[in-house]
Structure 1
Amino acid sequence: MPIAFEDLGAGGPILAVLAVMSLLSWVLILVKIAQLWHCRSGQPRRAAAFQAWKAGDTAGAAAQLAQGKSPADRITGRAMEALSKGIRGTALDADLTRRGNEELARLGSGLRLLELIAMVSPLLGLLGTVLGMIQSFQELELAQGAANASVLAGGIWQALLTTAAGLLVAIPAAVAAGLFAARIDGAAQSIESAVGELMMLDAHPAI
């Protein structure tokens, strides 16, 4: 038999909040999947660009990376443009650090909200369960122990429903946040590796 919203008692409003949080988390997950899809790509493109750079075709190397979709492609392409113009040393390091931080901040946008949903959802579910249990025992007290056991059991499982709902919201959000954070860390490592390789080639072209 379908459960009406008003039949859920104290857990009803909390379930509504959890439903909104679930919708928000899935929207964030889909957005982040699209955003992070290419964040670690471009290794063959960068390898070809480095070969062109070693051969002296600096413009061609930068042009190859200009078509890349990953942060490592963009940062390395910027480094090539700067080196071609004679910009080196502290000024270049500061510019690349700033741009790298901006790229990582963009990749990490929304991740904190996803982590917050993963942390708060089980607590909201537990709160709904506690409130539901309180309501059930209040009804038992008012009935002076004459309450039907099936009615009491129904109130208890309705209360526990909020805990289950909180976990159902939290688990996908927590898993997604962890996977996204690992992917962003991988993108940061790709940036450092690519820029480091370029600086080595610039300092020692014969390598």
Structure 2
Amino acid sequence: MPTSFEDLGAGGPIMVVLALLSLLSWAVIVIKTLQLWHSRSGAAMRGDAFDRWRSGERQEAQAAVAAGRSPADRVTSYAMQALSGGFSGPVLLAELTRRGNDEVSRMNGLIRLLELIAMISPLLGLLGTVLGMIQSFQELELAQGAANASVLAGGIWQALLTTAAGLLVAIPAAVGAGLLSARIDGAAQSIESAVGQLMLAEENPDI
């Protein structure tokens, strides 16, 4: 077993990079999970608020939505304030679209970084393996065929270790990016649905 990164030869520096990428990806996953924890919450509360809006209890409905913690709650709260102030029509819809896009863009922050880590980690692992194999065969050539087979095998498995490390870094990053992206998509749908329900309640309070 190698006792240090130097024992891994050409793969040593790459193992250091992969270790740093692993720490970075897990940090991003934790940060984004906490950020998106409430991103799809409040659907029942908003439904009750829309019922109050239809019945004319606008202040109560607005107060209920303002207490929410999801992006849909924030956009809906602004929409209710705007409608109460007489702001409506295409201009309001354009502003709500802008605010919704801003919320989605904020939620998508750092997701690209996770996807990049998932993409480059296997390539870095493969690079370490190729460099390690080259080094092993160079040593075999210098030994003019008299190299100890066990020493050669040890160099090869150490080289292959970087590929395994690259996959171990990439898999959690890819899974995390996929799950977090799905949650963001659900939050974006919640924003669109909430705005649509509010506009319907405003235009057709009897429905």
Q: Please give the TM-score of this superposition, normalised by the length of structure 2.
A: 0.98
C-alpha distance in 1 between matches for 2:56 and 2:6: 74
Unaligned runs of 5+ in 2: none
Unaligned runs of 5+ in 1: none
Match of residue 189 from structure 2 = 189
Match of residue 54 from structure 1 = 54
C-alpha distance in 2 between matches for 1:165 and 1:4: 15
Match of residue 163 from structure 2 = 163
C-alpha distance in 2 between matches for 1:146 and 1:3: 26
Match of residue 152 from structure 2 = 152
- Per-residue Cα deviation, 1:64-113 (whole angstroms, up to 9, x for no partner): 01110000111111111111111111110111011111111110000000
Residue 3 of structure 1 and its aligned partner are, at CA, apart by 2.1
Q: What SS does structure 1 have at the residue aligned with 2:97?
A: helix
- Report 1:24-63 matches (<5 A): 24-63=24-63
C-alpha distance in 1 between matches for 2:113 and 2:5: 28
- Per-residue Cα deviation, 1:159-189 (whole angstroms, up to 9, x for no partner): 0000000000000000000011111000010
Match of residue 7 from structure 1 = 7
Residue 115 of structure 1 and its aligned partner are, at CA, apart by 0.3
Match of residue 139 from structure 1 = 139
Question: Sequence identity, in percent?
Answer: 71
- Report 1:69-84 matches (<5 A): 69-84=69-84
CA contact 2:18–2:121 (8 Å) conserved in 1 = yes
C-alpha distance in 1 between matches for 2:197 and 2:44: 14
User: CA RMSD of the aligned region, Å?
Assistant: 0.8
C-alpha distance in 2 between matches for 1:172 and 1:104: 23
The one-letter code of the counterpart of 1:104 is: V
Residue 192 of structure 1 and its aligned partner are, at CA, apart by 0.6
